Structure 1
Amino acid sequence: MDIIVERDDGKVLAIEVKLGKTVEASDTRHLTWLAQQLGDDLIGSVVVYTGRHAYRRGDVAIVPLALLGP
């Protein structure tokens, strides 16, 4: 994980940043591991990448960097 955002109540958002144009299953393995460790305390997992399409891979949101800003 590259970024962990923790709220005041202890809930966590995990973000992985990839420079590639594709996201493979192996790119989400640390996020999957963290989900197993935190259970309900994990409110979301995101991979930000340089590709073109937003989608979900299981419980992980895959989001193009271009969607986050100009």
Structure 2
Amino acid sequence: MGRILDTLVVAQLRAECVVGADMYHLRDANGRRGIDLLIEARDGQIIAIEVKATAAPSREDVRHLEWLHERLGARPAIGLLMHSGPRIFRMAERILAVPIASLWSS
């Protein structure tokens, strides 16, 4: 289920980011840490996104986003944990949990 959700989210965001941003996937050299999606705007702003197939994300689910913030300082504008639950809430400083369904709502 997780890979399907990852693919769905990336495909939707790719359509939204055609102009003005680049998209990347990040893994560290030893493969222990990674970020599902980095969106880098032309001005250098970065949005880091993790996708989780859970309706109840936990602090453990944002550990790689926190790792990236520690490595890059203020450069990531925000970290998003996209989840299958119904609401938006704060997970940590500059890290929000956001429903995947919000990609299709206004």
1:66 aligns with 2:101: yes
Q: Give aligned-pair identity as a percent.
A: 33
Q: TM-score, normalised by structure 1?
A: 0.90
Deviates more, 1:5-14 or 1:31-40: 5-14
Whole-angstrom distance in 2 between the partners of 1:40 and 1:32:
12
1:2 aligns with 2:65: no
Name stretches of at least 5 consecutive residues in structure 2 with no aligned partner. 1-34
* Corresponding position of 1:22: 56
Q: TM-score, normalised by structure 2?
A: 0.62
The structure with the larger Rg is: 2
| CA deviation after TM superposition for structure 1 residue 15, in Å | 0.3
Give the secondary structure class of the aligned counterpart of 2:101: helix
Whole-angstrom distance in 2 between the partners of 1:21 and 1:55:
12
Structure 1 vs Structure 2 CA RMSD: 1.2
Name stretches of at least 5 consecutive residues in structure 1 with no aligned partner. none
**Structure 1 stretches (4+) deviating beyond 3 angstroms?**
none
Q: Which has the higher contact order (CA 8 A, sep 6+)?
A: 1
Whole-angstrom distance in 1 between the partners of 2:53 and 2:86:
12
1:40 aligns with 2:64: no
